[in-house]
């Protein structure tokens, strides 16, 4: 008797209809390969770099689909042999392989939806603690750990741009640069206020506390994207960067904060060894923030910038993390939830990012 295997609804390459047109992708890749082989392309370095980026991205998508098809064929062949021999252990192994392929196909399908101008770019990620002192600072530190683990699990690099530590624990604020393909596309779904409910480790009475922290995400932009900023609209402040103390304490005002007066957008950098390095990086961040502002203005279905920058507190959160009196992480936009709170805090965020991305793209299509 034939045994029921985990169903796969369709071939991974069957993604036409606006998600991933396979035939069009192959034709486009052939065109890009031909352009790269043209030696005159490099007479225009900016155009050449843009072509190379597009080819690398599309080639990766095509290879991903082909790899999924090979893996699917191998797993189905293995399952058929195991079924014919009545080998239950091998059938279980085949089911596990098919389940893994199904998850990979689902992620590839979602990544095909990352078609925004900057979705494939690296990302800046800012975390700021809300009101509540040590409690909120500690929660912001937990979010820093969560996103760092998510990035590491997906092979992405992390650069620390700015960090202000809390007096007793955690952090008041931190800015990271997450480096990896589609870093912004995935992380943009995390922008908003995150709420934690737990028994406080800092409360001797062991009372339950609610803490808030905000996450802000914007893309790293390159020189091919022109952002016109009037220098007279930008206020520059310098301050002493925080250090380890002792003989290594920073004795000069090397940290730089830039504020774009018309919009109120502010960025800060203290990771460089000199004020010059920090100023240069801060200007890159400011350009990226203003670019993100423009992207949000273009997205009719996206929440406007000022709504995302409201008070860090009740009524504005996108996700709740409840550790007491029960275990539950719930996204308030998609209703996605799980009781695996430790897994989420250890960086298992794909289910939430995927649900939010699918919802966001769906709303955009209907608009």
- Best CA proximity match to 213, nearest among 201, 233, 196: 196
Residue 213's DSSP bridge partners are: 129, 194
| Token representation of residue 354 | 């995927």
Residue 321's DSSP bridge partners are: 196, 329
pLDDT digits (tens, 9 = 90+) for 50-91: 788 788 878 877 888 888 899 999 999 989 998 888 889 989
The pTM for the full model equals 0.68
Report domain extents, the chain: 22-112, 123-366
pLDDT digits (tens, 9 = 90+) for 299-330: 643 444 445 555 555 556 899 999 988 999 99
pLDDT value for 197: 94
CA–CA distance from 167 to each of 106, 137, 171 (Å)? Answer: 43, 9, 8
**Measured distance CA(46)–CA(53) in Å, rounded:** 11
CATH of 123-366, one of 3.30.70.1660, 3.30.413.10, 3.10.580.10, 3.40.50.1370: 3.30.70.1660
pLDDT digits (tens, 9 = 90+) for 125-174: 999 998 778 899 999 999 999 999 999 999 999 999 999 998 888 999 99
pLDDT digits (tens, 9 = 90+) for 237-292: 988 776 544 444 455 678 899 999 998 999 999 888 888 889 989 998 998 888 88
What fold, for 22-112? Methane Monooxygenase Hydroxylase; Chain G, domain 1 (1.20.58)
| Candidate ranges 89-98, 115-124, 355-364; pick with highest mean pLDDT | 89-98
DSSP strands (E only) in 166-275: 171-179, 192-199, 208-219, 234-239, 255-260, 265-269
| Token representation of residue 227 | 């952002």
Report whether pLDDT(15) > 80.
Answer: no
Average pLDDT, the chain: 82
**Measured distance CA(12)–CA(104) in Å, rounded:** 9
Q: Is residue 146 exposed (0-12), middle (13-18) or buried (19+ Cβ within 10 Å)?
A: buried
């Amino acid at each position: 008797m034939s045994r029921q295997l985990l169903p796969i609804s369709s071939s991974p390459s069957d993604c036409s209809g606006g998600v991933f047109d396979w035939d069009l992708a192959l034709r486009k890749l052939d065109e890009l390969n031909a352009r790269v082989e043209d030696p005159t392309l490099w007479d225009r370095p900016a155009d050449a770099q843009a072509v190379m980026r597009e080819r690398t991205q599309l080639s990766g998508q095509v290879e991903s689909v082909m790899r999924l098809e090979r893996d699917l064929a191998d797993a189905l062949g293995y399952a058929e042999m195991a079924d014919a021999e009545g080998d239950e252990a091998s059938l279980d192994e085949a089911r596990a392989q098919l389940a893994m392929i199904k998850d990979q196909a689902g992620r590839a399908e979602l990544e095909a939806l990352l078609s925004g101008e900057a979705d494939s770019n690296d990302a800046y990620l800012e975390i700021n603690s809300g009101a509540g002192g040590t409690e909120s600072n500690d929660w912001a530190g937990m979010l820093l750990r969560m996103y760092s683990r998510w990035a590491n699990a997906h092979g992405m690099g992390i650069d620390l741009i700015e960090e202000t530590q809390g007096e007793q624990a955690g952090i008041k604020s931190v800015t990271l640069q997450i480096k990896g393909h589609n870093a912004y596309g995935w992380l943009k779904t995390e922008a908003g206020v995150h709420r934690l409910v737990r028994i406080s480790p800092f409360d001797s009475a062991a009372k339950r506390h609610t803490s808030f922290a905000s996450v802000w995400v914007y893309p790293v932009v390159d020189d091919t994207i022109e952002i016109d900023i009037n220098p007279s609209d930008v206020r520059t402040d310098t301050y002493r960067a925080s250090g380890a103390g002792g003989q290594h304490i920073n004795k000069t005002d090397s940290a730089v904060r830039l504020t774009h007066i018309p919009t109120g957008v502010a960025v800060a950098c203290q990771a460089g060894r000199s004020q010059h390095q920090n100023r240069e990086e801060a200007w890159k961040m400011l350009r990226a923030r203003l670019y993100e502002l423009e992207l949000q203005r273009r997205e009719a279905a996206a929440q406007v910038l000022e709504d995302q920058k409201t008070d860090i507190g009740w009524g504005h959160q996108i996700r709740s993390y409840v550790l007491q009196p029960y275990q539950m992480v719930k996204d308030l936009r998609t209703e996605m939830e799980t009781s695996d709170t430790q897994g989420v805090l250890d960086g298992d965020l794909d289910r939430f990012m995927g649900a939010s991305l699918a919802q966001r793209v769906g709303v955009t299509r209907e608009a």
